[in-house]
């Protein structure tokens, strides 16, 4: 993705079973096999070019793992493609793209304090990205500055949070919305009791 949501490295792809015919499974593994065969690359060659382990590439090709956005981006870059070009299979996709709640490919981060799920289709090149952020009690999402001009738009679905942007801060409750600069250090902090759930939109300029 164009800008990291946190200063932490996204977790590696997690093996996930998908129904036959689902885009994130069969179509992606066929796409990867086709591109590698087209170039005459071995798994080791692609692993060296992409920085993705040979075993992970093999699992993706055999539809035994679903790559995270970060992994898919590294593979696309190795092929000299944009992420959209890599995942696009002409004529193979429905006009309706569904992101299932339990699809771990869209879970950008998941730890004891914070869970981030992207709500944007992985195969689209975009200047706008949508996320769902769940913060445990006392949890915080602290982010380094994104690209110049980036703004974030946040709506609190449940709980109470504090949004910080550089030296400014605002406390928000359920139903409140806020926009703020994200090209400076910024944070979303759960200041309430129990979990907090927010919708987050990043706009890159």
Residue 117 included in any domain: no
70 and 35 co-located in one domain:
yes
Say if residues 44 and 86 touch (Cβ distance below 8 Å). no
Report the candidate in 60, 73, 54, 61 with the shortest Cα–Cα distance to residue 10: 73
131 and 39 co-located in one domain:
no
The full 3-state SS of 7-75, as one line of letters, equals CCCCCCCECCCCCCCCHHHHHHHHHHHHHHHHHCCCHHHHHHHHCCCHHHHHHHHCCCCECCHHHHHHH
Per-residue confidence at 21, pLDDT binned at 50, 70, 90?
A: very low
Rounded to two decimals, what is the model's pTM?
0.57
Instruction: Report pLDDT for 194.
Output: 95
Is the pLDDT reported for residue 13 higher than 80?
no
Segment 26-67, tens digit of pLDDT: 677 888 888 888 888 899 999 999 999 999 998 888 888 888
153 and 92 co-located in one domain:
no
Instruction: Report pLDDT for 7.
Output: 38
83 and 159 co-located in one domain:
no
155 and 63 co-located in one domain:
no
11 and 98 co-located in one domain:
yes
Number of domains in the chain: 2
The enclosing H or E element of 87 equals helix 83-87
3 and 96 co-located in one domain:
yes
Is the pLDDT reported for residue 170 higher than 50?
yes
Residue 108 included in any domain: no
- How many percent of the chain have pLDDT more than 70? 81
Dihedral sign from CA coordinates of 12, 124, 100, 145 = positive
Residue 93 included in any domain: yes
Segment 75-102, tens digit of pLDDT: 988 988 888 778 775 555 556 777 888 8
Residue 115 included in any domain: no
Instruction: Report pLDDT for 17.
Output: 36
Instruction: Report pLDDT for 180.
Output: 98
179: β partners: 153
142 and 48 co-located in one domain:
no
63 and 142 co-located in one domain:
no
Domain limits at 56?
1-102
CATH number at residue 57: 1.10.260.40
Instruction: Report pLDDT for 35.
Output: 87
């Amino acid at each position: 993705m164009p800008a990291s949501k946190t200063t932490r490295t996204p977790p590696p792809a997690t093996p996930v079973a998908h129904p036959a015919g689902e885009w994130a499974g069969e179509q992606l593994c066929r796409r990867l096999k086709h591109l590698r065969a087209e170039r005459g690359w071995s798994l080791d060659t692609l692993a060296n070019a992409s920085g993705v382990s040979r075993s992970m590439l093999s699992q993706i090709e055999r539809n035994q793992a679903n790559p995270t956005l970060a992994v898919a981006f590294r593979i696309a870059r190795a092929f000299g493609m944009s992420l959209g070009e890599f995942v696009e299979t002409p004529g193979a996709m429905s006009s309706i793209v569904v992101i299932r709640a339990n699809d771990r490919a869209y879970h950008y981060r998941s730890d004891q304090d914070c869970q981030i799920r992207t709500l944007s289709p992985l195969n689209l090149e975009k200047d706008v990205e949508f996320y769902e952020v769940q913060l445990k009690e006392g949890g915080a999402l602290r982010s380094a500055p994104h690209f110049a001009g980036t703004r974030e738009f946040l709506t609190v679905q449940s709980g109470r949070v504090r949004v910080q942007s550089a030296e400014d801060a605002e406390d928000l409750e359920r139903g409140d919305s806020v926009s703020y600069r994200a090209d400076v250090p910024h944070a979303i902090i759960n200041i309430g009791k129990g979990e907090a759930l927010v919708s987050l939109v990043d706009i890159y300029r």
